[in-house]
Structure formats: C-alpha cells, structure tokens
Amino acid sequence: MFVCTLLTDPAAPSLDPALVDSLRNAWGGGDVQWLAPDEAAAFSLTSIPDNRWDVWADVQDLGVDLVILPLARRRKAMLLADMDSTMIQQECIDELADVAGVGARVKDITARAMNGELDFEAAIRERVGLLKDLPETVIGEVLATRISYMPGGATLLATMKAHGAYAALVSGGFTAFTASVADALGFDENRANTLLADGGVLTGEVGTPILGQQAKVDALNEITDRLGLAASDVLAVGDGANDLGMLQRAGMGVALHAKPSVAAQCDVRINFGDLTALLYLQGYARSEFVSV
C-alpha cells in the first residue's frame, strides 16, 4: 500500500477539494483524509500510478506538491537535516562573504557547488580562502542580524521529538552556525566544518576532514547504528548536491526547495510547502502539531 499526499504553501493555502477528489477517483484511491483544511490531504493507493510524474507536473502548475510514499513505517524515528537553505533561509558562507566584500563571487561558487557543478571540497576551500582576515566577531553579527529560520522548522522538530524521534543537524557549513541553530531549534546533535582562526581573525582555512556528501551518509549510518535504528527509520531533508547521498540512503529523503539537478534525482520534492510538509508526509494532521 502507498499513500498520496497533496499539499500547498501554508502561508497561502489553496488546495482545491475538487482536485483532490478528482485525482483520488482517477487513481482508485481510498477515502481522503484532510490533514489541514485547504492545505494538505492524503489518500491511500494500492500501487503507484503510471502517470505519476505527468500529474505531478500538472499540479505543480497549480502550486501543489504531490508525493507518493509507502504507507508502512510512514512515521520516522530520526530526522537528519541539512542547515543552509533548509533549516535556515540563507547560506552562511554567502552572508560572511557579503560582509567581507566578496559576496557576489562567493555566492556564484556556492550556487554552482550546490547544483553539483563543482567539487564540494575544492569549492569550500576556495570560498573560505576569500574570508581570510575577517574578524571572528563577524560570525556573531551575522547570526544576530542576517540569519532567519525556515518556516515550520521549530514545529517539525517539536512534533517529531514529542513522538520520540532523534534529530541531527549535519551541514557542509560551519560549527559556529550549526551550534547556534541546533540549540535554537532543539536538535540533539550537530556536525559541520570548522572555520579556523588565529588571533581573532579567520585564517582562510577550514579544518579537516571536510564534511561533504559522504560525511552526511556516514553520519546517517553512525547515528542509526548507535540508536539501533535502520536507514528506513530516517527522514532526511536537504537542498544541495552534497545532500544527495543521505537523501537517497534515508527511508524518506526530501528535496526541499532544492536545486533543479538535486530535485531531479529525488522522488520526494517539496517546492511549495514549508518544513511542516515533512509532518504531513508522515501522516501528522495539523491538529497534532506541537506548537512552539
């Protein structure tokens, strides 16, 4: 058995009941369960329809996300999340670079690296090199004035943790940021790269080994082994090429507002919903959300 979930942007909910009923009837689905009025609905299926991606493309034009997942083990026991452009709305290194006066150059490298066009390690070394001699105090300033959280993130964490889930933040960014974000949102642990400094200024170097795509897969494997979980128990979420490994390894890998080359390689794509979409995909109704 499978479950089809349809959802929209919660800031402007526009899910038409007629669309949901029409699709359920065309695919011979079970009874519709409204997870949130005008925002999210789901129905069961006995098989994945052959025209799944054609329909997906059609409803995308309507501002609707459509996801089909196995019904079994729908609720996950672990959340493994990327940070930049996933749990927060910015790329931290781009913000640091903007303060350093090299924002445009670094932003271009970041975009190409996240789209899989550049080697991740080489790209991070090049970008960090451009931050040389930036005062360490800028990190705190950026955190305080330039970083905003992705909508729905706190609710996602609070709800999953209230149901016993473990949450890990694993980023190709930097520990100076992940420590703050993890604490604010309630992650149980965080892993990231380290910006090296000397005498209160950045050296332009990053600590090794560099946490890239494989390190995120390793984190998934290590944490699940430690907790006695399977990869199928994990919900992973990210947006960049360095997230693909963990997205494909996890039981539910969600490409959230992802780069085109990344989304194309993932079956679970959220382009309109916020992070609460990850709760709807697990079958949580809005009435079950833990408010924060």
> Which are the catalytic amino acids?
82, 84
Q: How far apart are the first and last CA of the chain?
A: 34
Buried b (16+ CB within 10 A) or exposed e, 219-248: bbeebbeeeebebebbbbbbbbbbbbbbbe
Beta bridge partners of residue 238, listed in sequence order: 255
**Exposed (0-12), middle (13-18) or buried (19+): which is 272, by Cβ within 10 Å?**
buried
Closest CA to 161 of 238, 78, 83: 78
- Give start and end residues of each alpha helix (H) in 130-251: 137-145, 153-162, 175-185, 213-227, 244-249
